[in-house]
Structure 1
Amino acid sequence: MNLRITESQSAYRHLEQKSVDELIGLINQEDQSVAIQVKEALPQLSGLIKAIVEKVSTGGRLFYVGAGSGGRLSVLDVIELPTTYGLPKGVFNVILAGGVDRLADALEEKEDDTAEAWARLQEAGVTSNDVVVGISASGTTPFVLAALHQCKQHGIPTGCIVSNPDSPIAAAAMFPVEVVTGPEFVTGSTRMKCGTAQKMIFDMISTTTMIQLGRVEDNSMVNVALINDKITDRAVRMLMEKTGIADYEEAKTILLRHGSVKQALENVSKIV
């Protein structure tokens, strides 16, 4: 049986007796350890990201499979990508216990379902050209573990993000990422340090993959979708900086004609 550090007793006692200042100071102290633990897992994470980039760059897809806080955090990351990077919908996906449409309901009981995840992956037409990444703080979630076992049997590349060492889910994954963040501030509340580590890792996976796929130039979101005035203004100023166009309205007209900074840059000769 694997060591369930995520369920270990908090290092702090009698929290109800502490002041607001004491509580937030201690939580902040615990949070500072998360980035250090993520750093320890960077070699593992590098292998996973390289596998994702390889598959996605040749027409494959990424599927996160998760439940609880980690699964919900993956949804938040994935829904940002079409706007931020112009990524076509369906390239990054989430198979969430209970369904993404029930995100706000927090259907924790669904994490024990051992058939749903694989059934939904099959409905999506998952193949060996895709990558499936399981998300589980404990490293034992049946919903996730069953899906990874099925993927292995069908030759589908897998990874995982877990917070306990030597877990069944890590053992089932080709590219395991183990970030052992230790006991939580409130015993067993893995939405805290585990969740913070997961958010950091999702940022690294999506951002690094988008850069590797050419959806960032220099340090700019040149494929950002022009969905509101704030983003359009940002894109106009980006285009002005990159082309030397001095007139805001001229740059905006060019931008809207082409639909993105990247398309505008490919069709407009640089002034400088």
Structure 2
Amino acid sequence: MEKIAKSILTTIFNEEEKQVAQQRIVVVGGNENGGSSVFITAKSAFYSSGNPITTATDKLNLGALYANLPETNYINYFDKVLLADAISNASVIVAGPGLGSDLRSSDILDVVLANASLNQTLILSDAALKIIKESGHALPKTNLILVADETEWASFSNTPTEQQTTDTLANFQQKNNAIIIIKKAHTELFLKDGSVLANPLKTSQTSTNSLTGMIAGLTTLSSNTSETVAAAIYLHGYIEDQISRSQFPVLPSRIVDNIPLFLKEFTI
């Protein structure tokens, strides 16, 4: 399995200078018990790109959302008209962090899937994968990225953790034409061209939401999705590695807070 090279960061951030049009990001998630997950994801996405971001979440999260990320727009994700409009006008959509998996959550995801189109990047993680598995939904025909830890992937793919191999994951990827990220100590990346990459840097098992947001943010900086996802995975590990030299444990929120600092390191 090939390792992601640090040089990928230079490649992506040189591309940033060529990016002209703003890319809108929408993050959908955070039920009454899952606000922290959507906050971390949305903040990570914004800090990774500076592009306009809308957070669609439960109205109970509004005060805490603005306290964590005053730059975001907000919509109540139960308003299907507003949610559908936001999804239709986004370049990158994230669905799942803290969403929950009850019937109301499933209805929200239905709106996302119904309004996501072929020319958009759709990132599904956390509860979205659980809802799709339980409801029998087909995976949508978009520029699709799936993010899961090993336990979540075992449930979603009906493959026990001990039976998850490079071949089984690569086969699933090819069958569904999706980029797959398996979050583990050394996060693995399965690309559409059949390439399988791994992050040489270790990350904690609790930082999936910060990684998901970083993937969303960096994806807006270049049309080469494979490269931006690889860059996000490496940068995520790099930031945690640098922080771990002076702090333990490395909290996901600390990773997110330091994104602009380390982005600057690669854009000088």
TM-score class normalised by the smaller sequence: 0.3 to 0.5
What TM-score, normalized to structure 1? 0.38
| Structure with more helix by fraction | 1
What TM-score, normalized to structure 2? 0.38
Which structure has the bigger radius of gyration? 1
